[in-house]
Structure 1
Amino acid sequence: MGLLDILLGRTKPVAPDLDRLFALPSAAVTLEVAAGFTPTGTGAVCFATVEGGAFTEANREVQALLDADTDRTGPPVELRRDDYGYSWLVSRRSPDQLSSLVNDLHAVNSAMEVNGFGPQLLCSVAGFRDEGGRRLGLVYLYKRGTFYPFAPLPGPGERRDNALELQIKAALAGELRIEQDLGRWFPIWGAPGL
């Protein structure tokens, strides 16, 4: 980054740090104590869909890797496409297997990177619920290396609980690298597990 970049306000993009995903299990403990949310056991990696044989083969390899896990308690890994044209590779575990779920998310992201599809990676999400049925996703932005909470509200329409999201942001500030630019807290409507 040069002097001209600094003067024009350009910043160097943050490199993804997938190891930050491993902070989720300890953040989950804080999340349960501070707000009563526990893991659902569902997580997913979202990526821009790419057509072609190389991408299809990489996707097959990732699914085979995760499906080979004999400790999996839920259904096999599933590939879904949402209404916006993005693909989600969904992993389901027992709610008490958050560490294994995080390993799955890390493995998917790593395999996509290794196969040259890092630019297509958008985010990863782990699902949580409280006793009242409120839903929450902790979203990892691949290209920013940061997390943010996403709390969709029940009922018709696409609405979110901004107050809860800010509460979770404050509770997890010491646990996760939280995205400070609230404009980047993109809604992930229809995300699997939320």
Structure 2
Amino acid sequence: MGVFDTIKQALGMAAEADATRKADPEDLFGMSTAYVTMEADLDYHSAGEAALCFSGVDSTAFTRAKEEVEAILDAGGEETGTVADFRRDTHGYEWVVLADPDFEDLVTSIHFAADTLIESGFGSRLLAAVFAFERDGANAYWVYSFRRGAYYPFVPAGGHERDGMAEFKLESVLEGELGLEADKEYWYPLWPDGDTHPWGAALADDR
């Protein structure tokens, strides 16, 4: 299987075929309470960044949709201070990376971006929303899969290894607050690729 086939499988094609429920952008607001639990019970703090990943399409309508997302985030950023950065990774996937010390602003901005793409008719292009946390210099992520309509934790441990114990702890503590992915086969890793966070990195299906 080639790298692009692997990415397609991990990010959408297989997950879309096996989807168990329709994704709802309102699910993203679940992070508004989950991050409080992350801090109080697990001592994880927001890293001040979150990102929305989607697959682009070469069309005028999609370009307009992206421009609308950018305009909305720019307008909102004037009031909240949220900084939006649009990126494309080496595999052609699009990212909207948001930076803001206020976690509520990150959640709201991610929701606006996702909802705008859905209203523009490109909801099927949405892949994942990713929220970054840190503790003692280590990163942890909550990933919302739009193809599965569920969250899962991802804690990289370096060298394309995962901290399974940390992921299990996150799952056990947050299962009452977030709609979690029950099938761990769909807990796809987002390996950082020369960056602190996965933004711009390819998703691999090697656990």
TM-score (norm 2): 0.80
Question: How many residue pairs end up in the alignment?
Answer: 179
Are residues 148 and 193 of structure 1, via their aligned partners in 2, closer, same or farther at CA, if it must alter by over 3 Å? Answer: farther
Larger radius of gyration: 1
Quote the Cα distance in structure 1 between the aligned partners of 2:86 and 2:64.
13
Native 8 Å contact 1:26 1:175 kept in 2 = yes
Quote the Cα distance in structure 2 between the aligned partners of 1:32 and 1:49.
35
Native 8 Å contact 1:42 1:193 kept in 2 = no
Deviations along 1:142-162, one digit per CA (max 9) or x if unpaired, are 1222111111124xx322212
TM-score (norm 1): 0.85
Q: Report the alpha carbon displacement of residue 32 of structure 1 after superposing the two structures with TM.
A: 1.6
Are residues 41 and 116 of structure 1, via their aligned partners in 2, closer, same or farther at CA, if it must alter by over 3 Å? Answer: same
Quote the Cα distance in structure 2 between the aligned partners of 1:135 and 1:12.
28
Pair 1:88-2:95 in alignment: yes
Gaps of 5+ in 2: 1-16, 193-197, 202-207
Match of 1:63 among 67, 70, 89: 70
Structure with the higher helix share, 1 or 2: 2
What percent identity do the matched residue pairs reach?
35
Are residues 173 and 12 of structure 1, via their aligned partners in 2, closer, same or farther at CA, if it must alter by over 3 Å? Answer: closer
Counterpart residue type for residue 100 of structure 1: D
Q: Report the alpha carbon displacement of residue 31 of structure 1 after superposing the two structures with TM.
A: 1.2
Matches within 5 A, 1:16-165: 16-69=23-76, 70-73=78-81, 76-94=83-101, 97-130=102-135, 132-154=136-158, 157-165=159-167
Alignment match, 2:205: none
Quote the Cα distance in structure 2 between the aligned partners of 1:158 and 1:143.
24
Gaps of 5+ in 1: 1-9
RMSD: 2.0
